[in-house]
Amino acid sequence: MEGFNIEAGTCIHHITGYTCAQVCNYTPENRIVSQKEVFLALENLRMDCGAEHFSPGHVFDNLFAYIYGIGGADDVDPETAEKEVFTGEINMVKRAVVTDSKFKNGVLSITVDQSPKSRAEVEALVNDMLLMHKRSENATNNLEGRNFEPCDHDNGFTGESIWGCNKRPRNKDGSCDFRYKNNNRDCAAWCEVRRRYFHGLERLYSVETINRGPYAPMVTLTKGTSTSWGVSYGLNIGLADPLSIFSGGLGFSMEKSYTHSLDEAFAPQYSEMGDWCGYWTLIPKMVESCGSMTKWQTTTLVGPNGATSPMCDTSQPSRTFENLCITYPYRKDRNRVDGNTVVVLVDCKRTNILAPMRRQNQYYRKPGVADTQSGRLKKALGDKK
């Protein structure tokens, strides 16, 4: 017999006196094990066998080997115990397997298809239980990744910071790994630490003011009306191509500017405007990503013909700058940015004076949305400055 076929989830065993040796295949596929492999496993187990008549187990080539005492071995005189020579006659045994597991009130309960017959089977059951838990955990994480991933969906746009979104984590010393050896003009790498989703500064549509009165024209937004704005980043460390550095850290290509186009037409609801006039604006959904940037020194290579080429020298000490952020539009799908189109209420005589915030759209009332810092608009008398 050249080898032993061990089916997936089963063990082969051999009993000598009151000692049982097992070789188990806990992989999902059947295995052919040679006699040499079995003899080697048994010899290693024999040398490790302790006073309690079992071995801690060996793992070789994804196979598990155990040896343990059975049937009152503590009372057996080793000199008179039955001795057998292993002849290659192996019995196939279907071990107990976990069919279900539950964790409630701090107690883990498992269901098995049959009673375990050895310590090795108990250890195998524990391994099965851990594997089932890991698979369940991964399945839950995958489900959350598809439907509830805080780093990829709008997350309510609460403005609260979120950690764990980093595609390329920092090293233990806080630095970032060097990337893009070709076409990395800045000899730098950025890695994200935290992220937050929020409603950003309003972006006006280039249309007329919505006036009131019997002869005032209806100011609507037609499908395809758009507004654009750029990406901002708080950097001043001499980067020639900051967008490439940030794109590398975020895992997607960053654009210098973005355009939001309407998928549908909008018309003002005069009944909700009261005695106020207004204008159309977009409240963009934004993302702020903050992290660390590591920069390396540059060196110049001189070719045989005297031509020079600047290169990043990663052999020299690097320098890491912390808390460097980039603010960019939230991308709904395939680089399409998203936001809320609303009417902002203003005084009809002085259109740079906002109506009280309690009258404005709920999204417009969020911090940092109203364009009051530039001086274009002023808050209503009574609203906090």
Per the structure, the complete domain to which residue 143 belongs is given by: 99-148
**pLDDT of res. 25:** 72
Q: State the Cα–Cα distance between residues 381 and 354, nearest whole angstrom.
A: 9
What number of CA atoms fall less than 13 Å from residue 167's CA on the CB side?
11
The number of domains in the chain is 3
Same domain, 227 and 302: yes
Q: 170 in helix, strand or coil? A: coil
> How many angstroms separate the most distant Cα atoms in the chain?
116
Burial of 142: CB neighbours in 10 Å, binned 0-12, 13-18, 19+: exposed
Residue 353: the pLDDT is: 95
DSSP assignment string, 242-291: HHHHHHHHHTSPPPSEEEEE-SS-B---HHHHTT-EEEEEEEEEEEEEEE
CB atoms near residue 351 (< 10 Å)? 15
Pick the most confident of 39-43, 75-79, 107-111, 282-286: 282-286
Say yes or no: 165 and 69 in one domain.
no
Helix segments in the chain, DSSP class H? 35-48, 119-147, 242-250, 270-273
Last residue of a domain, one of 73, 94, 115: 94
Secondary-structure percent of the chain, ordered helix, strand, coil, rounded to 5? 15, 35, 45
User: Which range, of 19-23, 34-38, 84-88, 298-302, averages the lowest pLDDT?
Assistant: 84-88
Q: In sequence order, what are the residues at sequence separation of 6 or more whose Cβ sits closer than 8 angstroms to the Cβ of residue 101? A: 108, 109, 110, 111, 129, 132, 133
Token digits of residue 120: 């090795």
| pLDDT at residue 368 is higher than 90 | yes
Clarify whether residues 107 and 220 are in a common domain.
no
Pick from 238-247, 345-354, 359-368: least confident? 238-247
> pLDDT tens, 164-197?
777 777 888 889 988 755 456 788 998 888 888 9
35 with 170, same domain?
Answer: no
133 has pLDDT over 80: no
CA trace torsion 217, 223, 227, 230 (10° rounding): 170
Banded model confidence at residue 236, pLDDT cuts 50, 70, 90: low
Which ranges in 89-209 belong to alpha helices (H)?
A: 119-147
Which of 254, 247, 236, 256 minimizes the C-alpha distance to 179?
A: 247
The pLDDT value given to residue 265: 92
Between residues 64 and 94, the one the model is more confident about: 64
**How do strand 98-104 and strand 336-337 relate by DSSP bridges?**
unpaired
- 109, burial (CB in 10 Å: exposed 0-12, middle 13-18, buried 19+): exposed
Q: What is the mean pLDDT of residues 353-375?
A: 94
210 and 341 together in one domain: yes
Q: Are residues 132 and 234 in the same domain?
A: no
Distance CA 236, CA 12 (A): 68
308 and 329 together in one domain: yes
Say whether both 110 and 241 belong to one domain: no
Q: Report, as an integer, the average pLDDT of 342-348.
A: 95
pLDDT of residue 247: 84
Whether pLDDT at 147 is above 60: no
Identify which has the larger pLDDT, 216 or 371: 371
The total of other beta-carbon atoms located within 10 Å of residue 353's CB is 14
Q: Is residue 287 part of a domain?
A: yes
Range among 85-89, 154-158, 240-244, 330-334 with highest mean pLDDT value = 240-244
Q: Which position has the higher pLDDT, 140 or 334?
A: 334
CA distance 129 to 134: 9
**Domain for residue 378, yes or no?**
no
Residue 309 tokens, joined: 């080429």
C-alpha to C-alpha distance for 59 and 43, rounded to whole angstroms:
13
Domain presence at residue 383: no
What pLDDT, on a 0 to 100 scale, did the predictor assign at position 276? 94
* 43 vs 289: which has the higher pLDDT: 289
87 in any annotated domain: yes
Q: Would 23 be classed as within a structural domain?
A: yes
More confident residue, 340 or 244: 340
What pLDDT score was predicted for residue 359?
A: 94
Of the candidates 266, 275, 284, the one whose C-alpha atom is nearest the C-alpha of residue 343 is 266
Q: How far apart, in whole angstroms, are the C-alpha atoms of residue 152 and residue 172?
A: 25
Strands 31-34 and 58-60: unpaired
pLDDT digits (tens, 9 = 90+) for 67-79: 665 444 344 444 4
> Do residues 222 and 334 both lie within one domain?
yes
**Do 178 and 254 have their domain in common?**
yes
Residues 293 and 351 in one domain: yes
- pTM (predicted TM-score): 0.58
Assess if residue 384 is contained within a domain: no
**What pLDDT score was predicted for residue 4?**
73
% pLDDT > 70, the chain: 62
Judge if 302 and 253 occupy the same domain. Answer: yes
Confidence of residue 224 (pLDDT cuts 50, 70, 90): very high
Where a domain ends, among 52, 70, 94?
94
Residues 6+ apart with CB under 8 A from 371: 201, 202, 204, 377
The string over 291-325, giving b where at least 16 C-beta atoms fall within 10 Å of a residue's C-beta and e elsewhere, is bbbbbbeeeeeeeeeeeeeeebeeeeebebeeebb
Contacts of residue 154, Cβ cutoff 8 Å, sequence gap at least 6 = 197, 285, 330, 338
- For residue 345, being part of any structural domain is answered with yes
Q: Residue 55 pLDDT more than 60? A: no
Q: Has residue 376 been placed in a domain? A: no
- Quote the pLDDT of residue 95: 62
Instruction: State yes or no: pLDDT of 7 exceeds 70.
Output: yes
